[in-house]
């Protein structure tokens, strides 16, 4: 998958996302993951932006078998076809399904016995998830719990969760759902569990940079929520390398990229200006308002967390609290999801994520004030 953004005829040359960020070009040598050699691997969300990239790295690293799990038929077809085209069809097993399907997961683990699980399946679009909060919690939180239970019960060795900086002091249900997923990974168990908290991956579908590229191609305007809004950005190649490093380091707990990797936050307006400049067109920028669940700035570490020792050259450990009574709350959360009880799902989200601030949209949907029951 190319990291170049869609180029209209008006663009003078097809720049890469690395160029837009002012980063060094992507490595020419194919990424290798030492732990993958000869291993049986499960990748959830295998057809997604990150999932498909890490799958190619696993295949290039000599994995014995890669189980490709994805709930989207088109994505699963595309990643399986791409792997077949590069000669990796024999080691890949495509399975259409989701991480909330306990029966499917039990059968999958029993038959294929994966040793490494890379959990990239998630619902990630913040404003869309504010309108579909039950789906966000079901996939991002409950799906992580069900997958971890299956992995542990079948004796898997290592599970790695792809998390997000939106889990830090979340204003969105997506961020809160991923923060609870991180706690699931931090809770003691017989499975080696790692959560890698990443930042925005530039060029990922439905994210800001492809939207800007499309707006520029159509003559604008380019819409930015706030003049001071900023984000950390990494390229797909950088993210894949970080996940490979986490797998090979075999470190448990919560990991974040070092400041040397992420660099400083970039103003969204500056990103728009860079892309407009590369287009050679005179395209206006219009400032709008943050959408429900969106934050002006993002961070990789919450106030209640403590930065720990390095886990690898590019990743640092973070000591992060786990809510008391997590297993009981997860059972209650599953019941609330089954009953489609929006208010109870949000109450439980607040209990499990003390610094979660539900958006006005979600508070209004259940009636204010949204009190947390004791």
Name the residues annotated as catalytic.
Answer: 166
How far, in Å, CA of 350 to CA of 353, rounded?
5
Closest CA to 270 of 291, 285, 282, 288: 285
**DSSP character for 287?**
E
- Within the chain, residue ranges assigned H as helices are 17-21, 49-60, 73-85, 102-112, 126-131, 133-136, 143-153, 173-186, 208-217, 236-249, 259-262, 268-279, 326-338, 342-352, 360-366
CA-to-CA distance for 186 and 254, rounded, in angstroms? 7
The Cα 251–Cα 77 span in angstroms is 33
User: In the structure encoding, which two tokens stand for residue 344, read together?
Assistant: 């109870």
3-state secondary structure of 37: coil
**Count of C-beta atoms within a 10 Å radius of residue 364:** 12
Record the tokens describing residue 181, joined without a space. Answer: 């997923």
Are the beta carbons of 174 and 209 closer than 8 angstroms? Answer: no
For residues 27 and 246, is the Cβ–Cβ distance under 8 A? no
d(CA 281, CA 235): 25
């Amino acid at each position: 998958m190319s990291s170049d953004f869609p180029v209209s005829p008006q663009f003078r040359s097809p720049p890469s996302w690395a160029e837009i960020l002012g980063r060094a070009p992507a490595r020419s040598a194919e990424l290798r993951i030492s732990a993958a050699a000869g291993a049986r691997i499960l990748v959830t969300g295998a057809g997604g932006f990150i999932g498909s990239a890490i799958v190619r790295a696993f295949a290039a690293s000599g994995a014995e078998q890669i189980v490709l799990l994805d709930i989207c038929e088109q994505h699963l077809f595309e990643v399986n076809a791409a792997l077949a085209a590069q000669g990796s069809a024999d080691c890949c097993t495509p399975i259409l399904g989701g991480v909330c399907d306990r029966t499917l997961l039990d059968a999958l683990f029993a038959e294929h016995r994966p040793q490494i699980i890379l959990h990239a399946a998630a619902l990630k679009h913040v404003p869309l998830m504010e309108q579909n909060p039950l789906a966000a919690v079901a996939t991002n939180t409950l799906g992580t719990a069900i997958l971890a239970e299956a992995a542990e019960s079948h004796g898997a060795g290592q599970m790695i969760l792809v998390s997000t900086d939106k889990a830090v002091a979340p204003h969105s249900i997506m961020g809160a759902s991923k923060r609870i997923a991180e706690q699931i990974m931090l809770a003691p168990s017989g499975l080696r569990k790692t959560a890698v908290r990443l930042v925005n991956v530039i060029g990922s579908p439905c994210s800001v940079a492809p939207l800007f590229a499309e707006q520029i191609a159509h003559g604008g305007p380019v819409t930015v929520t706030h003049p001071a809004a900023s984000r950390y950005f990494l390229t797909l190649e950088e993210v894949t390398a970080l996940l490979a490093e986490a797998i090979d380091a075999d470190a448990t707990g919560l990991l974040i990229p070092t400041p040397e990797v992420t660099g400083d936050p970039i103003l969204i307006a500056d990103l728009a200006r860079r892309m407009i400049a590369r287009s050679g067109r005179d395209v206006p920028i219009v400032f709008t308002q943050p959408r429900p669940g969106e934050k002006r700035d993002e961070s990789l570490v919450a106030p209640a967390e403590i930065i720990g020792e390095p886990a690898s050259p590019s990743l640092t450990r973070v000591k992060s609290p786990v809510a008391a009574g997590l297993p009981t709350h997860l059972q209650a959360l599953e019941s609330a999801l089954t009953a489609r009880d929006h208010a109870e799902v949000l109450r439980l989200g607040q209990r499990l994520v003390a610094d979660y601030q539900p958006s006005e949209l979600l508070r209004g949907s259940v009636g204010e004030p949204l009190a947390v029951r004791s």
